[in-house]
Amino acid sequence: MTIVFLSVFLYALYELSSIFMVYYHNHQLLADVQQIYGDTEMERDEEEEIMEGEVREQFNELKEINHDILGWITVDDTKINYPILQAEDNDYYLTRNYEREESIAGSVFMDYRNDITSYNPNIILYGHRMKDDSMFNGLDKFLDEDFFYNHDTIYFDTMYESYEAEVFAVYNTTTDFDYIQTEFEDKHEYGSLLAEIQQKSKYDATVELGMEDQIITLSTCDYMLDPDKGRLVVHAKLVKKDGT
Protein backbone atom coordinates (compact mmCIF):
# COMPACT_ATOMS: atom_id res chain seq x y z
CA MET A 1 0.00 0.00 0.00
CA THR A 2 2.86 2.37 0.84
CA ILE A 3 4.35 1.78 -2.59
CA VAL A 4 1.03 2.64 -4.24
CA PHE A 5 0.70 5.88 -2.28
CA LEU A 6 4.29 6.79 -3.07
CA SER A 7 3.75 6.13 -6.77
CA VAL A 8 0.65 8.29 -6.81
CA PHE A 9 2.49 11.04 -4.95
CA LEU A 10 5.46 10.96 -7.31
CA TYR A 11 3.19 11.00 -10.35
CA ALA A 12 1.25 13.99 -8.99
CA LEU A 13 4.52 15.77 -8.22
CA TYR A 14 5.71 15.12 -11.76
CA GLU A 15 2.49 16.50 -13.25
CA LEU A 16 2.62 19.63 -11.07
CA SER A 17 6.27 20.17 -11.94
CA SER A 18 5.48 19.89 -15.64
CA ILE A 19 2.68 22.45 -15.36
CA PHE A 20 4.93 24.77 -13.36
CA MET A 21 7.63 24.57 -16.04
CA VAL A 22 5.10 25.39 -18.76
CA TYR A 23 3.93 28.46 -16.84
CA TYR A 24 7.52 29.49 -16.10
CA HIS A 25 8.58 29.19 -19.73
CA ASN A 26 5.56 31.18 -20.86
CA HIS A 27 6.25 33.88 -18.27
CA GLN A 28 9.88 34.21 -19.39
CA LEU A 29 8.93 34.30 -23.06
CA LEU A 30 6.35 37.02 -22.50
CA ALA A 31 8.75 39.01 -20.34
CA ASP A 32 11.22 39.01 -23.23
CA VAL A 33 8.75 40.34 -25.78
CA GLN A 34 7.40 42.90 -23.28
CA GLN A 35 10.95 44.16 -22.82
CA ILE A 36 11.41 44.52 -26.58
CA TYR A 37 8.13 46.36 -27.04
CA GLY A 38 8.62 48.53 -23.96
CA ASP A 39 12.11 49.63 -25.00
CA THR A 40 11.10 50.66 -28.51
CA GLU A 41 7.96 52.38 -27.19
CA MET A 42 10.08 54.50 -24.82
CA GLU A 43 12.60 55.35 -27.52
CA ARG A 44 9.94 56.43 -30.03
CA ASP A 45 9.54 60.16 -30.56
CA GLU A 46 5.92 60.91 -29.63
CA GLU A 47 5.87 63.87 -32.04
CA GLU A 48 7.05 61.86 -35.02
CA GLU A 49 4.52 61.77 -37.83
CA ILE A 50 3.60 58.31 -39.09
CA MET A 51 2.91 58.04 -42.78
CA GLU A 52 -0.25 56.19 -43.77
CA GLY A 53 0.50 52.50 -44.33
CA GLU A 54 3.88 52.71 -42.59
CA VAL A 55 4.63 50.16 -39.87
CA ARG A 56 5.20 51.95 -36.56
CA GLU A 57 8.73 51.73 -35.20
CA GLN A 58 7.87 49.75 -32.07
CA PHE A 59 6.65 46.87 -34.23
CA ASN A 60 9.70 46.48 -36.48
CA GLU A 61 11.62 44.14 -34.17
CA LEU A 62 8.46 42.24 -33.25
CA LYS A 63 7.73 41.60 -36.94
CA GLU A 64 11.21 40.10 -37.28
CA ILE A 65 10.38 37.63 -34.50
CA ASN A 66 7.05 36.66 -36.05
CA HIS A 67 5.38 38.30 -39.01
CA ASP A 68 1.97 37.38 -37.54
CA ILE A 69 2.38 39.96 -34.76
CA LEU A 70 0.19 42.90 -35.72
CA GLY A 71 -0.71 44.66 -32.49
CA TRP A 72 -0.44 45.05 -28.73
CA ILE A 73 -3.03 45.05 -25.93
CA THR A 74 -2.61 46.49 -22.41
CA VAL A 75 -5.02 46.69 -19.46
CA ASP A 76 -3.82 48.53 -16.36
CA ASP A 77 -3.61 46.60 -13.06
CA THR A 78 -3.77 43.22 -14.81
CA LYS A 79 -1.15 41.02 -16.44
CA ILE A 80 -2.64 41.83 -19.84
CA ASN A 81 0.29 43.38 -21.69
CA TYR A 82 0.75 41.18 -24.73
CA PRO A 83 1.41 41.06 -28.45
CA ILE A 84 -1.57 40.33 -30.67
CA LEU A 85 -1.20 37.73 -33.41
CA GLN A 86 -3.35 36.72 -36.34
CA ALA A 87 -3.38 33.57 -38.45
CA GLU A 88 -5.51 32.33 -41.33
CA ASP A 89 -7.91 30.71 -38.85
CA ASN A 90 -8.91 30.97 -35.20
CA ASP A 91 -7.26 27.68 -34.20
CA TYR A 92 -3.54 28.15 -34.83
CA TYR A 93 -2.68 30.46 -31.93
CA LEU A 94 -5.02 28.74 -29.50
CA THR A 95 -2.16 26.37 -28.77
CA ARG A 96 0.94 28.29 -29.89
CA ASN A 97 2.92 31.17 -28.42
CA TYR A 98 4.29 34.08 -30.43
CA GLU A 99 7.37 32.02 -31.35
CA ARG A 100 5.04 29.40 -32.86
CA GLU A 101 5.92 26.85 -30.16
CA GLU A 102 3.21 24.52 -28.86
CA SER A 103 1.85 26.01 -25.62
CA ILE A 104 -1.25 25.41 -23.51
CA ALA A 105 -1.36 29.18 -22.86
CA GLY A 106 -1.57 29.96 -26.55
CA SER A 107 -1.49 33.63 -27.54
CA VAL A 108 -3.77 36.62 -27.60
CA PHE A 109 -4.95 36.65 -31.20
CA MET A 110 -7.24 38.60 -33.49
CA ASP A 111 -10.13 36.98 -35.32
CA TYR A 112 -8.98 35.92 -38.79
CA ARG A 113 -11.93 37.80 -40.32
CA ASN A 114 -10.65 41.16 -39.11
CA ASP A 115 -8.35 43.25 -41.30
CA ILE A 116 -6.41 46.08 -39.65
CA THR A 117 -5.77 47.71 -43.02
CA SER A 118 -9.48 48.43 -43.52
CA TYR A 119 -12.56 49.45 -41.54
CA ASN A 120 -13.75 46.89 -38.98
CA PRO A 121 -16.85 47.72 -36.95
CA ASN A 122 -16.05 44.91 -34.47
CA ILE A 123 -12.43 43.91 -33.84
CA ILE A 124 -12.30 40.69 -31.84
CA LEU A 125 -9.44 39.42 -29.67
CA TYR A 126 -9.33 36.00 -28.02
CA GLY A 127 -7.20 34.69 -25.16
CA HIS A 128 -7.15 31.79 -22.73
CA ARG A 129 -8.06 32.20 -19.07
CA MET A 130 -4.92 30.75 -17.47
CA LYS A 131 -4.76 29.73 -13.81
CA ASP A 132 -1.54 31.69 -13.27
CA ASP A 133 -3.53 34.86 -14.04
CA SER A 134 -1.86 35.27 -17.45
CA MET A 135 -3.37 35.85 -20.89
CA PHE A 136 -7.02 36.98 -20.58
CA ASN A 137 -7.63 35.77 -17.03
CA GLY A 138 -7.47 39.41 -15.89
CA LEU A 139 -10.70 40.21 -17.72
CA ASP A 140 -12.68 38.85 -14.78
CA LYS A 141 -11.61 41.93 -12.80
CA PHE A 142 -14.08 43.94 -14.88
CA LEU A 143 -16.87 42.01 -13.18
CA ASP A 144 -16.03 44.00 -10.06
CA GLU A 145 -17.95 47.28 -10.07
CA ASP A 146 -15.10 49.40 -8.69
CA PHE A 147 -12.63 47.99 -11.18
CA PHE A 148 -15.05 48.49 -14.08
CA TYR A 149 -15.55 52.17 -13.36
CA ASN A 150 -11.94 52.90 -12.40
CA HIS A 151 -10.34 51.11 -15.35
CA ASP A 152 -12.36 52.48 -18.20
CA THR A 153 -9.53 52.53 -20.75
CA ILE A 154 -7.93 49.67 -22.67
CA TYR A 155 -4.80 50.47 -24.67
CA PHE A 156 -4.86 48.93 -28.13
CA ASP A 157 -2.12 49.40 -30.69
CA THR A 158 -1.81 48.05 -34.22
CA MET A 159 1.15 48.22 -36.56
CA TYR A 160 -0.33 51.38 -38.03
CA GLU A 161 -2.43 53.13 -35.39
CA SER A 162 -2.90 53.57 -31.65
CA TYR A 163 -6.16 53.66 -29.70
CA GLU A 164 -7.47 54.35 -26.23
CA ALA A 165 -10.53 52.11 -26.05
CA GLU A 166 -13.34 53.22 -23.73
CA VAL A 167 -14.81 50.23 -21.85
CA PHE A 168 -18.60 50.17 -22.03
CA ALA A 169 -19.69 46.57 -21.32
CA VAL A 170 -18.81 43.39 -19.46
CA TYR A 171 -20.96 40.27 -19.14
CA ASN A 172 -21.07 36.48 -18.99
CA THR A 173 -22.69 34.79 -21.96
CA THR A 174 -22.52 31.74 -24.20
CA THR A 175 -21.56 31.31 -27.82
CA ASP A 176 -25.28 31.25 -28.66
CA PHE A 177 -25.06 35.05 -28.61
CA ASP A 178 -23.19 36.20 -31.72
CA TYR A 179 -21.10 38.93 -30.10
CA ILE A 180 -18.27 38.07 -32.51
CA GLN A 181 -20.22 39.12 -35.58
CA THR A 182 -17.94 40.97 -38.01
CA GLU A 183 -20.12 41.59 -41.06
CA PHE A 184 -23.42 43.44 -41.07
CA GLU A 185 -26.05 44.01 -43.73
CA ASP A 186 -26.27 47.67 -42.80
CA LYS A 187 -25.58 50.13 -39.99
CA HIS A 188 -28.91 49.39 -38.36
CA GLU A 189 -27.98 45.73 -37.88
CA TYR A 190 -24.72 46.84 -36.31
CA GLY A 191 -26.60 49.30 -34.13
CA SER A 192 -28.87 46.48 -32.94
CA LEU A 193 -25.81 44.50 -31.84
CA LEU A 194 -24.46 47.49 -29.92
CA ALA A 195 -27.81 47.93 -28.18
CA GLU A 196 -27.97 44.26 -27.22
CA ILE A 197 -24.42 44.37 -25.88
CA GLN A 198 -25.24 47.38 -23.70
CA GLN A 199 -28.37 45.64 -22.44
CA LYS A 200 -26.37 42.56 -21.45
CA SER A 201 -23.68 44.53 -19.64
CA LYS A 202 -23.40 44.01 -15.89
CA TYR A 203 -22.86 47.75 -15.44
CA ASP A 204 -23.98 50.91 -17.24
CA ALA A 205 -21.20 53.04 -18.70
CA THR A 206 -21.39 56.67 -19.79
CA VAL A 207 -19.72 55.94 -23.14
CA GLU A 208 -21.70 57.33 -26.07
CA LEU A 209 -22.04 54.81 -28.89
CA GLY A 210 -23.19 55.37 -32.44
CA MET A 211 -23.52 53.24 -35.54
CA GLU A 212 -20.35 54.85 -36.94
CA ASP A 213 -18.20 53.81 -33.96
CA GLN A 214 -15.75 50.93 -33.99
CA ILE A 215 -15.51 48.60 -31.01
CA ILE A 216 -13.00 46.07 -29.72
CA THR A 217 -14.26 42.82 -28.21
CA LEU A 218 -12.15 40.81 -25.74
CA SER A 219 -13.34 37.23 -25.32
CA THR A 220 -12.26 34.40 -23.04
CA CYS A 221 -13.71 31.16 -21.70
CA ASP A 222 -16.01 31.21 -18.69
CA TYR A 223 -17.72 28.37 -16.83
CA MET A 224 -20.48 30.17 -14.98
CA LEU A 225 -23.22 29.63 -17.57
CA ASP A 226 -21.89 26.63 -19.49
CA PRO A 227 -18.72 24.51 -19.17
CA ASP A 228 -18.18 24.42 -22.95
CA LYS A 229 -19.96 27.38 -24.49
CA GLY A 230 -19.56 29.87 -21.63
CA ARG A 231 -17.70 33.12 -22.32
CA LEU A 232 -16.66 36.26 -20.47
CA VAL A 233 -16.71 39.31 -22.73
CA VAL A 234 -15.48 42.90 -22.43
CA HIS A 235 -16.27 45.55 -25.05
CA ALA A 236 -14.72 48.98 -25.58
CA LYS A 237 -15.21 51.82 -28.04
CA LEU A 238 -12.14 52.57 -30.15
CA VAL A 239 -10.88 56.15 -30.00
CA LYS A 240 -7.90 56.82 -32.22
CA LYS A 241 -4.99 58.74 -30.71
CA ASP A 242 -3.83 61.83 -32.54
CA GLY A 243 -0.60 61.59 -34.49
CA THR A 244 -0.64 57.81 -34.90
Mean pLDDT of the 99-104 span: 94
- Does any domain span residue 117? yes
Residue 24 pLDDT level (bands cut at 50, 70, 90):
confident
pTM greater than the 0.75 cutoff: yes
Query: Which structural domain, as residue segments, surrounds residue 157?
Result: 2-237
| pLDDT at residue 187 tops 90 | yes
Domain membership flag for residue 243: no
- Residue 148, domain member (yes or no): yes
Residues 6+ positions from 237 with CB-CB distance below 8 Å: 165, 166, 168, 207, 209, 213, 214, 215
CATH number at 225 reads 2.40.260.10
Say yes or no to pLDDT of 43 above 50: no
Q: How many structural domains is the chain composed of?
A: 1
Q: Answer whether residue 175 is part of any domain.
A: yes
pLDDT of res. 211: 94
Residue 96 lies in a domain: yes
> Does 35 map to a domain?
yes
Predicted pLDDT of residue 41: 58
Which positions are catalytic? 221
Q: Is residue 244 in some structural domain?
A: no
pLDDT in tens, 48-89: 556 567 889 999 999 999 999 999 999 999 999 999 999 999
Instruction: Name the pLDDT band for 240 (thresholds 50, 70, 90).
Output: very high
What's the whole-number mean pLDDT along residues 135-163? 97
Q: Say how many CA atoms lie within 13 Å of 230 toward its Cβ.
A: 10
Phi-psi region for residue 133, left (φ > 0), alpha (ψ -120 to 50) or beta? left
